Structures are given as C-alpha cells and as structure tokens.
Chain A
Amino acid sequence: GDSVTQMEGPVTLSEEAFLTINCTYTATGYPSLFWYVQYPGEGLQLLLKATKADDKGSNKGFEATYRKETTSFHLEKGSVQVSDSAVYFCALSDRLKNTGNQFYFGTGTSLTVIP
C-alpha cells in the first residue's frame, strides 16, 4: 500500500542555517506530494505541493522537487528563521476507492530554530 517515510526529528538549527528534511514515498499509482506545516497549538497548513514528476513546489522560501526516480520529495530552505519552528509533515495523495483522494502522512519532523 501507499506510505510516506520522513526523517525523524527533532531537528535543531541556528538561524540562517540550511534546512533539509528528507521524505520518501511508496505508491502504487501516480500520487501528488505535499508538505504541510503545523505551528504550535494549531492545525496543519499546506506549505507546498507538486502533482507530477519533476514538478517543484515552493512557498515562503521552502522548496521540494518531486523525484520519481528516487521516490523522494525532500524539503529544503536556504536560510531558516526562528518563525519556521514547527512540525513538518510530508504527505501523498492518491485515489480513494470510490471518489476523491486519500492522504497518507509521514510521522512529522519537529524543527526548532534558535537565534
């Protein structure tokens, strides 16, 4: 079945450091891939997405490229800020048996950025 594996945290970085959070997936079809972010005490918010191979999703300085050959969707940011401290979830979306789509989430990676 479909699944997502992302690197375990927690990750602690200094401000302006480079961030990579690894994500790999297993899927039977051609899924869309997503990164969601959860700030303390809040629900999940969409950060970026990519719907087909070689697409690059980007938002707020974060980027991720859909790599079909390596089944990966790693999240990167060149210079993190304290306000980026949150939990990041990688997810894939594939067809439900009736209609719509079902999401599969990774376990989340907690990021703390220190000044």
Chain B
Amino acid sequence: DVKVTQSSRYLVKRTGEKVFLECVQDMDHENMFWYRQDPGLGLRLIYFSYDVKMKEKGDIPEGYSVSREKKERFSLILESASTNQTSMYLCASSLIPHSEARETQYFGPGTRLLVL
C-alpha cells in the first residue's frame, strides 16, 4: 500500500514564525503536491514538484515556498506565518502516468495548523 506521512497532525505557531511541514512518501512517486483545505473552498493547490529539485507554483503560492531535495520528501515552508495561513494542509503524491490513464493521487492524513 502507498503510504504518505506528514510530520505533524496538529501544530500551533505564532505570527511571524518560520514553519516547516514535512511530507514523506514510500512508493517512489515522481509527483508530490501540497494543498490547503478550507471550509467552502475545497482543496487549493499551493505547489507541486515533478522531480527532485523541481517545483512549480500552484494556484495560491503566495506566502509559501517548498523544497524537494530527495525524491521521497517534499517540504512546505511558511517563511513568516500569518493568521490567514491557519488551515488544514494536505500532502499528496502520484506516479507520472505512462499511458493515457491518469494516475491517482494518494494523500497524507493532513496537518492542522493554527497560527496565533
């Protein structure tokens, strides 16, 4: 079974702190994604990566950065946390599809971040 793990289930941080959210997958997937989930807005893509050291902005990258130094690990960084970044953060991974079929995304359990 594919396993995607996230370093914390719950985090409480103060405004201005630097925050690291870690995600690890054990299935040798090329693609990794960070989303935030907010009530009424569904999932919104922050950043994704399709290879080591490669990253692409998603729909809402402002205030975030990412790092992918190893294939299995994708980190989301909040350089200076703000209260509007209080949210549920979900990491996902997927294979690069080798055919017309589109590959499934596999999700971690999520990190609920509260910024005070």
A-B contact count (CB 8 A): 71
Task: Report the Cα distance A49→B35, complex, angstroms.
Answer: 20
Q: How many residues of A contact B (CB 8 A)?
A: 28
**A31-B102, A32-B102, A93-B102 given; A43·B31 CB < 8 A:** no
- Of B12-20, B66-74, B76-84, B105-113, the one touching chain A: B105-113
Chain B interfacial residues counted at CB < 8 A? 30
Residues of A within 8 A of B22 (CB): none
Whether the pair B42, A107 counts as a contact (CB closer than 8 A) is yes
By the criterion CB–CB under 8 Å, are A45 and B107 in contact? yes
Question: Per-residue CB proximity of A40-60 to B under 8 Å, as 1/0?
Answer: 001111100101100000000
Name the residue among B42, B56, B90, B94 with the largest chain A CB count within 10 angstroms. B42
Q: A42 and B102: CB pair below 8 A?
A: no
| In the bound complex, CA of A13 to CA of B42 (Å) | 22
By a beta-carbon cutoff of 8 Å, the part of chain A in contact with chain B is: 30-32, 34, 36, 42-46, 49, 51-52, 89, 93-94, 96-103, 105-108
Known: A32-B101, A99-B96. 6 other contacts (CB 8 A): A96-B48, A100-B96, A101-B94, A103-B45, A107-B40, A107-B42
